[in-house]
Amino acid sequence: MLAGLLITLFAVTLAVVAGPDRLAGQAAGASLVQALKWDVLLAACLTANIAMLARHRFFTPADIDGGGLSPGTSPAQLLQSILQNTLEQAVLVLSVHLIWAAAMPGSWQAAVPVAAWEALG
């Protein structure tokens, strides 16, 4: 975890220091739009997790009725836990990215793409 934290801090710092100058003059609305474009990566991860659980339920008779209607098999419970974790992290990361894009100076906006990419790791 420490190595991941150090790599992330290094990457974000590098993005802020060496980020493109064209980001410095953009309006707050443009910063929010840019952040949301990068957060498509988060939505893709969440979609993949939903699809994995749905595929498992569709092909497993014991789980076909869904998690709320039956206790579920062990693989379904694991996939549900992974999905729940991914959802929680995606909501948190999306919130932080939007707050960052709205509150930080334009020259710091290059950190959002780096943070979105790091969130996938």
Ordered by start, the domain boundaries in the chain are 2-20+27-119
Cα separation, 77 vs 65, whole angstroms:
13
Cα separation, 101 vs 111, whole angstroms:
9
| pLDDT for 102 beyond 90 | no
- DSSP labels, 63-117: GTT-TTTS---HHHHHHHHHHHHHHHHHHHHHHHHHHHHHHS-GGGTTHHHHHHH
pLDDT at 74: 92
% of the chain with per-residue pLDDT over 90: 27
How large is the average pLDDT for residues 33-61? 90
63, two tokens? 């789980």
pLDDT at 111: 79
pLDDT at 25: 54
How large is the average pLDDT for residues 98-106? 82
Cα separation, 107 vs 119, whole angstroms:
21
How large is the average pLDDT for residues 8-35? 72
- Band (pLDDT 50/70/90 cuts) for residue 67 is low
| pLDDT for 68 beyond 80 | no
| pLDDT for 50 beyond 80 | yes
Task: Say if CB 11 and CB 113 are below 8 A apart.
Answer: no
Please indicate whether residue 31 or residue 50 has the higher confidence score (pLDDT).
50
| pLDDT for 57 beyond 80 | yes
pLDDT at 69: 65
Could you tell me which of 9, 43, 15 has the C-alpha nearest to residue 112?
15
Cα separation, 84 vs 114, whole angstroms:
24
